[in-house]
Structure 1
Amino acid sequence: MLVPAPPNQLPSLSFYGDASSKQCAFMVAGGFAVSGNRINEVEDSIAAIRDDAGIRSEFHWSQYRGGNRRSAYESLIQYGFDLIKTRKAALHVIIAKFDGYNHREKAGDDRDTSVNRMYYQLFLHRLAAFYGRARRIHIRLDAGNDCKDICRMRNELCADAYKRHQTKPNCIVSIEPVKSENVGIIQLTDVVLGAIAAKQNAVAHTSPKKDLADFALRVSGRHSWASDTAPSARFLTVWHLKSRSRSP
């Protein structure tokens, strides 16, 4: 039985997550962590990028075709990495090799189940480990079957975080699915993760997506997405999960 939730006076942090390329050799999941007092500012900035470009639909990696939207998508990606560089947000990414991976530990398991497991590892060893002692954490995930299980695992995750990382009790206050069309930060996550997955899977796009993936890597300041960030990294972390172990 968990002890009472942490005091309400603790500052809040929201994590906006998504997953990309679960049908490919490498799956990429992750998202942006944003302090509660900055959420409106970030949402307004993303909306302004969309409005300035005259885009009525949501930003979405799978729908990107270049053309007159190229500048807006590049501005969105640039804005995301500017948030990281100015320490106004953090990006936490987990990459798992899904080729040859056993997605059926038990009846009914599939690739969506595996994505849920990857989310668990990311939330436990990044969100809880980094923020669970001093923040109330809210997790918002792009709705779909690949987050259905994890949205029901808050109690288990909090107990695990308390035991492994000495977090505040119930450090993760909520895990909920949201519709990406209503949340600009989820759209930002979708585009950035799509770009990372494209590079990691060595996708030879004949469409403008190749250029956008190259742009994202360039503005990130990294040479590739194929290696883990240093253990000391906090605002941009990349973790290649190499086994089913619960330890990074």
Structure 2
Amino acid sequence: MAKPAAKFVYFFCDESSYVDDEFMAVAGLAIPDYELQAVTDELADIKKQLGGPSETKWNAVKSRRDSAHKAFVDHFHAGVTTGRFHFHIRFAPFDKYDHRLSGPKRRVDTTSKMHFQLLLHRALRFYGQRYKLRIRPDNGDCTAALVNQIDSLHQWGSHHHAAATDCIDSIEPRDSKRELLLQLLDVPLGAFTAIRNDRQLVGPKRELADYVAARFPDKNLKGNTPAKEMRFSIWNAIPSGAPKRGPWG
């Protein structure tokens, strides 16, 4: 049976390591509307069967043989490999930016700009010509400003990527404790960011990071994937000067 045509693409996004590490990351998980409920139900079944913390996330991993975290990694790997959803990650050498120029919240405002870039050059670039976008960031200071940037995203998306000038249906921050797709994003995002920073992990986090790396042995986190790569894209940003109102970095 042929897959139904998607009208909406949901784009879940979050950040990692914007305080202590050399490289911070923002990442997005893009999923067509017809897969959203099925994937959500599958993740709920995993949590029901394996238990674990109320929120399956990188920072909550514990040493367990029947780990929900590893099951989420398996589900993530299968979904990306089969094209059920796409994953996009953007790394940036955070200390190379002058955060005073980003705004009064400094590192938070810089991170907000990183999210803007991820949405512009991944969500709008890849999906903005054919689909309506329902953008669902993890709620918090770093994503709060995005809800007021729809017009700017439309303007820059049309200019850079020929995206429709009304392609964003909505931007609605969500609580990751209640949104399983944000939890599915958080686990590999945390692991990939730790690996990118050569973080000296021990215990359950070391085990989980190695588990993620083993699922994606061909991914070079220090490089960039080809421009047309949609299923799993890696983008290492290079600072080009002071932050601007529009695209930068």
TM > 0.5 between the two? yes
- Report if aligned partners of 2:22, 2:94 keep a CA contact under 8 Å in 1: yes
Q: Within 2, Cα distance between the matches of 1:103 and 1:120?
A: 16
Unpaired runs of at least 5, structure 1: 1-8
What secondary structure, in the 3-state scheme, does the structure 2 residue paired with 1:146 have? coil
- Report if aligned partners of 1:10, 1:134 keep a CA contact under 8 Å in 2: no
Alignment correspondent of 1:82: 78
- Superimposed CA distance per residue, residues 157-180 of structure 1 (whole angstroms, 9 cap, x where no aligned partner): 111111221111211121121000
In structure 1, give the amino acid aligned to 2:24: M
Unpaired runs of at least 5, structure 2: 242-246
Matching residue within 42, 45, 69 for 1:45: 42
Cα RMSD between the aligned structures? Answer: 1.8
1:74-223 maps to which residues of 2 (within 5 A)?
74-105=70-101, 108-223=104-219
What secondary structure, in the 3-state scheme, does the structure 2 residue paired with 1:32 have? strand
- Report if aligned partners of 2:9, 2:31 keep a CA contact under 8 Å in 1: yes
Of 199-208 and 37-46, deviating more is 199-208
- Superimposed CA distance per residue, residues 55-82 of structure 1 (whole angstroms, 9 cap, x where no aligned partner): 351101111122345x321110111121
Q: Within 1, Cα distance between the matches of 2:199 and 2:214?
A: 17
In structure 1, give the amino acid aligned to 2:115: Y
Q: Within 1, Cα distance between the matches of 2:147 and 2:36?
A: 21
Q: Within 2, Cα distance between the matches of 1:211 and 1:230?
A: 30
Alignment correspondent of 1:3: none
- Report if aligned partners of 2:12, 2:181 keep a CA contact under 8 Å in 1: yes
Using the size of structure 2 for normalisation, the TM-score is 0.90
- Report if aligned partners of 2:224, 2:236 keep a CA contact under 8 Å in 1: yes
Of 184-193 and 203-212, deviating more is 203-212
Q: Within 1, Cα distance between the matches of 2:134 and 2:23?
A: 27
- Superimposed CA distance per residue, residues 207-234 of structure 1 (whole angstroms, 9 cap, x where no aligned partner): 2101211211221242431111122311
Alignment correspondent of 2:239: 243
Matching residue within 14, 31, 54 for 2:51: 54
Using the size of structure 1 for normalisation, the TM-score is 0.91
Query: Post-superposition shift, 1:185?
Result: 0.6
- Report if aligned partners of 2:102, 2:110 keep a CA contact under 8 Å in 1: no
Alignment correspondent of 1:12: 8
